[in-house]
Amino acid sequence: MSMFAEATVSRPLKEVLAIVRRVPFRVAVCLIIIGLFALAAMAPKVLQTHDPLAIDLRSSLQSPSIGHWFGTDQLGRDLYSRVVEGTGQSLAIGLGATALSMSIAVVFGVAAALSGGVCDSILSRIVDVLFAIPTLLLALVFVTVFGPSVLTEVIAIGIGTAPGYARMIRGQMLAIKGTGYVEAAKVLGHPFPRIVWRHILPNAMNPLTAMMTIGVGQAIIWASGLAFLGLGVAPPAPEWGALLNAGRNYVIYAWWLEIIPGLAVTAFALSLTIVGRHLQDRLEGKT
Amino acid sequence: MKMEAHHPIVWFARRIVSGVVVVWAAATFTFLIQCVLPGDRAQIIINVTSGNVGPASSAELAAINAKYGFDQPIAVQYGKYILGIVHGDLGESYQQHRPVAGIIAEQIGPTIVLSVTALLFAWIIAILTTLFIAGRDNIWAKLLNDTQVFFATAPPYWLATILLVVFALKLRILPVIGGSSPIGLILPTLALALELSGFFGQVVQNEFTRVLEQPFVTSARARGMSDFGVRLRHVLRHAALPGITLSGWALGKLLSGAILIEVVFARQGLGGVLVAATSSRDVPIVSGAVLISAGLFVLVSLIVDLTYRVVDPRIKLT
Amino acid sequence: MHLSNARSTRRFTGKSNYPARTVEAAFLLLLGLSQLSSSIHAQEGLAGSVKRGGVIRYGHFQEPACLFGGWVQQWYLQRQYSDNLVARSEGGNIVPWLAESWTISDDKKVYTFEIKPNVKFTDGTALDAQAIADNINGWLSNDPDLRNPTAAPYLSDSFESASAIAPLRLRIKLKVPFQPLLTVFAQSSQGILSPSALKRGLAVNCENPVGSGPFIVDKWRHGREVNFRRNPDYNSAPATAKHQGPAYVDGITWKFLPDQTVRYGSLITGETDAIYDIPAVAWKDANSRFSVLRHLTGGTPLRLALYTARPPFDDVLVRKAFAYSTDRRAAVDTSFLGSLPFEGNGALSQSSPEYLRELGHSYGHDVRKANQLLDQAGWTERNRSGVRVKNGSPLIVRISYSNAFLKPDGEQALQVIQQQAREAGFDVRLQPTNPADFFAGKNLGPDDYEVVLLYWVAPGAEIFRISWKPDQNGEPNRFNPSRLQDPMLWEVIQNAEQNFNGAERTDLYQQAERKIVDEAPVIGLTLLDVTLATKPNLKDVWLDRGSVGEPVFYDAFFDDKK
């Protein structure tokens, strides 16, 4: 692994363009899917065919058709428009949780790696403790204490997934700290904080970009898992997990209410994973 | 007392101490959680027990406060809590009025059976698919690889629901409520194992693709060993080490997954108890589960490290 | 309030689980009359010994924390292993059970019961007058191990003492007459338990309670099932049962299957013989494939309680306008897919004997009238989003509810109401609250809601005492979420309770009922029901009309035994 060769994240535009041109087909497809979901999150109205909350008692529980692409629920609400509507909240939870988790991880990881000694072992132990508690269980603890809400979900999943990242960052930081490259920078008389900020951190963060991409998808799946247990965001908000939870009761007679929201979650998480993997390969392939 | 730092006994003692520290910290964490619980704990206990909504009389509250020791100073409560844990007492459920240790002991068996079977299944699936696809570039290998990624990403409870409807309700091959019978274990295990096998498969496959390019593989082929023979021997050998680490790592994922899967299949186990405890704010149960899983984690990582030592004595212990 | 279908079936404010007795026989919907008649023939043609055998695998909904107690989930279980002093028939008459006969003194304050001889609890303790007196005194004591959270609030105002005046003669004294006394005794939560077993303490009794009923609790496998086995010496069946002596089946495997897909699925695949609570979405399918039993509970309907102590609902015109603004019938029909009827009478549910049918259509959907009433009440302006405004404050209605008291289908009904009320200018906001928060009082404070969705199951109008007792001596009635204080209404209710003339009492209760509907502190939505689907070969399962419609497996038998 000689990602240390590139000293900073900033690359010439030309290089970026070159990368874009080399994007394989499946990654391109995934990027389009992610783009569509992002659009759904930011401007749901553009994509919706119906009002996601409009109740139409006459068209209750219709299977997918031209009029209702994904079918309708018990109250005749258009499932497609509800899935689109729910994207924003699900994405917000995924991004929020990942951002929180990253912030915690960076603080812990960097502090542990740079301080070393007793401080390192204390911080590492704290991470160990959190790591020792399964993510879902930690999330349940938070829901038990603070009650279910979007914020609880974000905090619970953010903290639950942080230890993994923290360990990774610490490892990266230590590896980079130990290279002759940093020693060289020291010899050249660069102040230590500057070395950390300009050289160590960016290099440690590179592999994390890929992990984060995958992490957003995973966070959404955790959040929908909580909602699936009935401990998530309350309806009528058509958050994906809430749709999955509601759909489960109808699955024998109205499969679409369960299958389609699940496919949406999977499609999004899968796309993120494939793109994340691609980024990872890219970084490693630079050897 | 400068003993050899890598001496097995020193190493072992250090591992034990750090394990105890982890469990102690987890206990402190769960204690703090109970203290910051918003709302009056006694009020919640009374209303959850009787199904009442609204404020209880102060006499009722006082009785509960005295019974659970909520009226004592925090430090005393903390001391008692830690002392209780040392004696295997995880407190009493607010709702069931039984010792938490008993409740968890009763439910953890099926969860562990499910998790371990799923772990085995996951490895079998992962190794079989790897044998088949690694280093091959045909359409089937690609398809199988994509399937693996799909399973690694799809929400496990969603897959579980689909499996339940398809295999139990539509095709009627497998039972809806399996209970503790082996046949009833198939669907939940599969639901849990598919996700994990995706993860394992991807890791083992990377390892293995690298191995296939090594000179000794070429020489094995040159010696006339069949392609399948080469694959089988080297897959297994090279899956062993990452396999041990990954299995340890998978513990948390398995426990989380099992909670969800148990709820889908209405199976006995920690899942149902935890979900009920969470929605009724039965903190001692949730805390107890956290402690137990922290303990399990410490135990499993110790086993993983020990196994490592046995499999590959050159490994430096830290 | 027994909430048969909600995720967590609990009583509101402690009391809502009052046993619902269906007073009208017509509620047993044995859909598929052919099955009904064939079962009768089968029964006639079979000797008792042929009926015997088999274990009923029953898929229930929720698992309680204790096998007896105040929660409706506990009543279902207790009905299987304990007997009551008296039973209540489908017609609403009190009939013998452990008491073979009884007399009531002229001042209606002293009841004397003659107890059935030779009855034993399944631990061998004799079931005599003293044992029953011990039970009853325990219910009304302050001992947390013995106090009965269902009986106490009904009886604590009137009860004086219970004592054995002879080995088989029980005397109960009251401070004031209380006509519904026997009705209260007939509820499953008032099943008589062995006093010697009760001495073992609450924790042991929760695990392994001892009664004198047709089944014995064998083992409770937490998280999975309760195993009952037949009581071979059973000799104390109620007059409502179809036979005497021990039960026909060898036992019951009472499985807890909270997921409705799994529960209903297990019946489809034949892994269970009977299940509780048919999912709305499977209602039609269940009626075509299985025998369906259904009990519509009495007491209050599932209703919207409007906070009457402050604006906007302190004004009766606004309360009525809210009722008129929504098509609650359509909301119920769609959300519950025809599995539950609409109930427009907010005071009392249709299976209560005092129910007034004409009130069942109160406040039909009429937006014009709603608008008229709101204009009249001074809510004349509208803001930009169409919400009415008075003195600068918008017409906001916050509805608090919890899935502890409402199944998911009910939540959909609220979403319909939310949308419809908008047309008349109400800004309806839903406040879903998780059960733990709800029990902790979240969204239930005096300034936290305009509407709260609740119900309370009871046999009939005696429930009025619980809902409408005014605050006294600075002690608020916590079971009155409408906060309506009406001393005249209370007067009528008390008169009814002390009146032993059936027609006069009904008349008094109906006066109260009309007054409640007219003042509209509560608006009816639907009912709670208990539904059971059984495989066609399992005969003679019935729902207990003396209580909340618990399944009774005592008379049940399999008619196709190999």
Got the DSSP string for B126-165? Answer: HHHHHHHHTT--SHHHHHHHHHHHHHHHS-HHHHHHHHII
The residue of chain C nearest to residue B274, with distances taken between CA atoms, is C223
In contact, C548 and C530? CB cutoff 8 Å: yes
Between B49 and A124, the more confident residue is: A124
Chains that touch B (3 or more CB pairs under 8 A): A, C
In chain A, pLDDT over 70 holds for what percent of residues? Answer: 90
What ipTM does this complex have?
Answer: 0.81
Cα angle vertex A269, ends A55, B136, to 5°? 140
Nearest-neighbour CA in chain A from B223: distance (Å): 32
DSSP-assigned states of every residue in C532-552:
EEE-TTEE--EE-TTTT--EE
Copy the structure tokens of residue C544.
């207990």
Q: Is C114 on the interface with A (CB under 8 A)?
A: no
Q: Is C281 on the interface with A (CB under 8 A)?
A: yes
Distance from C-alpha of C120 to C-alpha of C196, rounded to nearest angstrom: 12
Look at residues B47, B94, B41, B56 and name the one whose alpha carbon lies nearest to residue C439.
Answer: B47
Structure confidence at residue B135 (pLDDT): 67
For C443: left if phi > 0, alpha if psi spans -120 to 50, otherwise beta; the answer is: left
Phi then psi for residue C426, to 5 deg, are -90, 135
What digits encode the pLDDT tens for the residues C276-289?
989 888 888 899 99
Between A3 and C398, the more confident residue is: C398
Task: Find which of C250-254, C453-457, C548-552 is predicted with most confidence, using mean pLDDT.
Answer: C250-254
Structure confidence at residue C514 (pLDDT): 94
Copy the structure tokens of residue B152.
């690694």
The residue of chain B nearest to residue A133, with distances taken between CA atoms, is B294
Residue found by looking up tokens 């405890």 in the block: B277
State the best of C5, C334, C406 to mutate against chain A, taking most chain A CBs within 10 Å: C334
Q: How confident is the model at residue B53 (pLDDT cuts 50, 70, 90)?
A: low
Question: Is the per-residue pLDDT at C45 higher than 60?
Answer: no
Question: Is the per-residue pLDDT at C31 higher than 60?
Answer: no
Q: How confident is the model at residue C59 (pLDDT cuts 50, 70, 90)?
A: very high
Chains that touch A (3 or more CB pairs under 8 A): B, C
Is C478's CB within 8 Å of B96's CB? no
Question: Is the per-residue pLDDT at C130 higher than 60?
Answer: yes
Task: Find which of A67-71, B155-159, C305-309, C475-479 is predicted with most confidence, using mean pLDDT.
Answer: C305-309
> Which amino acid is present at B83?
L
Is A259's CB within 8 Å of B279's CB? no
Q: Provide the mean pLDDT of chain B.
A: 80
In contact, C453 and C405? CB cutoff 8 Å: yes
Nearest-neighbour CA in chain B from A188: distance (Å): 34
What digits encode the pLDDT tens for the residues B85-134?
888 888 888 777 788 898 898 888 889 999 999 999 998 898 888 877 76
In order of A158, A237, C402, the CA distances from A146 in angstroms are 15, 19, 16
Q: What is the pTM of this model?
A: 0.82
Structure confidence at residue A98 (pLDDT): 93
Is C261's CB within 8 Å of A253's CB? no
Beta bridge partners of C220: C226
Nearest-neighbour CA in chain C from B50: distance (Å): 6
Q: How confident is the model at residue C95 (pLDDT cuts 50, 70, 90)?
A: very high
Is A133's CB within 8 Å of B297's CB? yes
Distance from C-alpha of A145 to C-alpha of A103, rounded to nearest angstrom: 23
Distance from C-alpha of B78 to C-alpha of B30, rounded to nearest angstrom: 10
Between B136 and C301, the more confident residue is: C301
What digits encode the pLDDT tens for the residues B254-307?
888 888 898 888 888 888 888 888 877 788 888 888 888 888 888 888 888 888
Structure confidence at residue C56 (pLDDT): 96
Q: 3-class DSSP state for residue C91?
A: coil
Nearest-neighbour CA in chain A from C316: distance (Å): 29
Q: Provide the mean pLDDT of chain C.
A: 84
In order of A230, C280, C282, C402, C415, the CA distances from C408 in angstroms are 11, 10, 14, 10, 11
Question: Is the per-residue pLDDT at A179 higher than 80?
Answer: no
Structure confidence at residue A120 (pLDDT): 82
Is B155's CB within 8 Å of A265's CB? yes
DSSP code at position B57: P
Structure confidence at residue C10 (pLDDT): 32
What is the rounded average pLDDT of the residues B205-228? 73
Question: Is the per-residue pLDDT at A231 higher than 80?
Answer: no
Name every chain B residue with its beta carbon within 8 A of the beta carbon of A125: 18, 21-22, 25
Is B290's CB within 8 Å of A228's CB? no
Q: How confident is the model at residue B50 (pLDDT cuts 50, 70, 90)?
A: low
Between C129 and A188, the more confident residue is: C129
Q: How confident is the model at residue B49 (pLDDT cuts 50, 70, 90)?
A: low
Q: Is A274 on the interface with B (CB under 8 A)?
A: yes
Is C203's CB within 8 Å of B97's CB? yes
Nearest-neighbour CA in chain C from B14: distance (Å): 39
In contact, C216 and C231? CB cutoff 8 Å: yes
In contact, B150 and A266? CB cutoff 8 Å: yes
Structure confidence at residue C6 (pLDDT): 34
Residue partners of A44: CB distance under 8 A and separation at least 6:
A52, A81, A84, A85, A87, A88
Structure confidence at residue A13 (pLDDT): 66
In contact, B285 and A163? CB cutoff 8 Å: no
In chain C, pLDDT over 70 holds for what percent of residues? Answer: 89
Structure confidence at residue A138 (pLDDT): 85
What digits encode the pLDDT tens for the residues A8-36?
445 566 666 676 677 788 888 999 999 99
Is A147's CB within 8 Å of C434's CB? yes
Structure confidence at residue C120 (pLDDT): 95
Look at residues C466, C59, C449 and name the one whose alpha carbon lies nearest to residue C258.
Answer: C59
Name every chain C residue with its beta carbon within 8 A of the beta carbon of A249: 260-261, 279, 281, 408
In contact, C552 and C543? CB cutoff 8 Å: yes
Distance from C-alpha of B30 to C-alpha of B291, rounded to nearest angstrom: 8
Structure confidence at residue A5 (pLDDT): 41
What is the rounded average pLDDT of the residues C76-81? 94
Distance from C-alpha of B115 to C-alpha of B109, rounded to nearest angstrom: 10
Nearest-neighbour CA in chain B from C224: distance (Å): 5
Residue partners of B226: CB distance under 8 A and separation at least 6:
none
> Which of A139-143, B150-154, B202-206, C45-49 shows the lowest mean pLDDT across its residues?
C45-49
